[in-house]
């Protein structure tokens, strides 16, 4: 068992980007269990799609639960998308009930993948229009999923590929 060392660099909180892709649009999805990393590339002609969220509203919750079948990792990613508008509602309608893979970056530059081909994320949304004039008007999106391993760290497909067989 290894040590968990002290972090000596900067540690800025908060997520600042969310991208999604339909599970069926993924061309390569390779997990490296020893490093909890993942290489993922879209199929030819497909690409990652961005979701804009109101700054400082993207929240990630994770929970580890011990079950009779083993440990499961539950992830919930919440984001606020501003303004009730037809283009947003149309996209949300298309996403509802679909199987999604998410790529999320934080302000430290860490990028993680939420969802797998076998256990993708799912999205639900709700429109928020509070009675106060200065309140938030827009959509609250919730992406949720349960997995047998922690969410993987994104590997750049153009970078070096780890060799899982030679790692402890």
Tens of pLDDT, residue by residue over 62-109, are 999 999 999 999 999 999 999 999 999 999 999 999 999 999 988 888
Residue 14 has pLDDT above 90, yes or no: no
| Domains of the chain by residue range | 15-159
Average pLDDT score over the chain: 87
Q: Which two structure tokens, joined as six digits, stand for 15?
A: 């997520």
pLDDT surpasses 60 at 1: no
Which two structure tokens, joined as six digits, stand for 65?
């639960």
**pLDDT of the residue at 113:** 97
- Within 8 A by CB and 6+ apart from 77, the residues are 15, 18, 58, 59, 60, 61, 102, 104, 114, 121, 142, 143, 144
Spatial CA neighbour of 115 closest among 143, 83, 85, 79: 143
Predicted local confidence at residue 3, as pLDDT? 63
Whole-structure pTM value? 0.84
Mean pLDDT of the region 119-138: 86
Is pLDDT of 42 > 70? yes
């Amino acid at each position: 068992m290894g040590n968990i060392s002290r972090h000596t660099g900067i540690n800025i909180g908060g997520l600042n980007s969310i991208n999604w892709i339909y599970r069926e649009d993924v061309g390569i999805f390779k997990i490296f269990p020893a490093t909890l990393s993942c290489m993922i590339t879209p199929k030819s002609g497909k690409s990652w799609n961005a979701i804009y969220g109101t700054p400082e509203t993207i929240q990630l919750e994770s929970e580890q639960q011990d079950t009779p079948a083993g440990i499961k990792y539950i992830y919930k990613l919440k984001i606020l998308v501003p303004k009730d508008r037809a283009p947003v509602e149309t996209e949300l309608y298309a996403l509802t009930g679909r199987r999604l893979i998410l790529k999320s970056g934080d302000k430290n530059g860490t990028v993680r993948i939420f969802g797998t081909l076998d256990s993708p994320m799912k999205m639900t949304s709700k429109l928020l229009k509070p009675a106060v004039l200065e309140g938030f008007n827009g959509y609250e999106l919730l992406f949720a999923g349960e997995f047998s391993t922690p969410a993987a760290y994104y590997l750049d497909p153009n970078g070096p590929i780890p060799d899982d067989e030679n790692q402890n």
